[in-house]
């Protein structure tokens, strides 16, 4: 069972980013058994950001950070805000223990009003991850907000793109020992989880079912 954290940096709910993340998680769940942790920063911001430094945040905030630190794959989504990722997402990553994150695999995901800001994934999100040793998939998933309906329906292009991105993440995970990433497995190094408070966890049924709560 692969532990996957899906992190949504949008401050809003409902969120188009959340629909993108759900599609990607479902696509991944079709080819590998997942234990999925959904971290919606809009829902847990008051727990996570109750203090500027990690040593002072609430016990619930600490527990949520550990859910991400103990995940093997991170699917990280954000709306584009001011040509970058959101401040919520930045603060979340500032709080993570960088020694826990080395060698993890991340899938960068974003949506925005204009396709001109799609390259934010390349010149801002990738460096955010690599600064703490997280390895990213070469494929990313970017949507304009017009490709996602208010009800959460995705365009055909997006569904196909989510499949390809999910496949690459799974392949990277299965090849992690060849890539020298296995020694960084969270099971061998990370802080202990303290349960799922503030986070929704569920598992997929490999190989056929889509992931659903
Ligand atoms: C404060 C703010 C700043 C934004 N800045 C940008 C931007 O610079 N570029 C862009 O393409 N979209 C921008 N947007 C549009 C959002 O990225 C877009 O509405 C997105 O679909 C919201 O995703 P969500 O539903 O997951 O929150 C901005 C929206 C807000 C509220």
* 3-class secondary-structure state, position 161: helix
Please state the atom number of ligand 1 nearest to the C-alpha of residue 18. Answer: 26
C-beta neighbour count of 43 within 10 angstroms: 16
Residue 209 lies in a domain: no
Site to substitute for ligand 1 among 78, 89, 113, 154, most atoms within 8 A of C-beta:
113
Domain around 187: 2-203
Residue 148 lies in a domain: yes
Is 38 in a helix, a strand, or coil?
strand
Cα angle for residues 73, 112, 161 (degrees, 5° grid):
50
pTM of the model: 0.90
Instruction: Give the count of domains, the chain.
Output: 1
Assess whether the previous peptide bond of 134 is cis (omega < 30° from 0): no
Q: Do the domain assignments include residue 212?
A: no
What is the C-alpha separation between 7 and 77, in angstroms, rounded?
A: 6
CA–CA distance, 135 with 75 (Å, rounded to integer): 12
Q: Does the C-beta of 129 come closer than 6 Å to ligand 1?
A: no
- pLDDT tens sequence for the chain (213 residues): 999 999 999 999 999 999 999 999 999 999 999 999 999 999 999 999 999 999 999 999 999 999 999 999 999 999 999 999 999 999 999 999 999 999 999 999 999 999 999 999 999 999 999 999 999 999 999 999 999 999 999 999 999 999 999 999 999 999 988 888 876 767 555 555 544 434 566 666 554 333 333
Whether residue 213 lies inside any domain: the answer is no
Q: What is the CATH number of the domain that holds 154?
A: 3.40.50.360
What is the distance, to the nearest Å, from the Cα of residue 44 to the centroid of all Cα atoms in its chain? 15
């Amino acid at each position: 069972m692969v532990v996957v954290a899906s992190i949504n940096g949008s401050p809003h709910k409902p969120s188009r980013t959340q629909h993108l993340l759900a599609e990607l998680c479902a696509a991944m769940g079709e080819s590998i058994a997942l234990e999925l942790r959904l971290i919606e920063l809009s829902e847990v911001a008051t727990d996570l950001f109750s203090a500027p430094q990690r040593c002072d945040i609430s016990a619930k905030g600490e527990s949520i950070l550990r859910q991400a630190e103990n995940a093997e794959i991170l699917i990280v989504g954000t709306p584009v805000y001011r040509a970058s990722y959101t401040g919520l997402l930045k603060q979340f990553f500032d709080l993570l223990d960088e020694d826990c994150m080395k060698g993890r695999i991340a899938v960068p995901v974003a949506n925005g009003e204009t396709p001109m800001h799609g390259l934010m994934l390349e010149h801002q999100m990738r460096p955010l991850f690599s600064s703490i040793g997280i390895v990213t998939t070469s494929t990313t998933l970017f949507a304009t907000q017009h490709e996602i309906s208010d009800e959460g329906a995705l365009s055909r292009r997006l569904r196909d793109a989510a499949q390809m991105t999910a496949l690459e993440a799974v392949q990277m995970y299965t090849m992690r020992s060849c890539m020298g990433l296995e020694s960084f497995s969270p099971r061998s190094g990370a802080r202990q989880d303290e349960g799922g408070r503030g986070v929704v966890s569920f598992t997929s049924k490999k190989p056929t079912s889509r992931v659903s709560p």
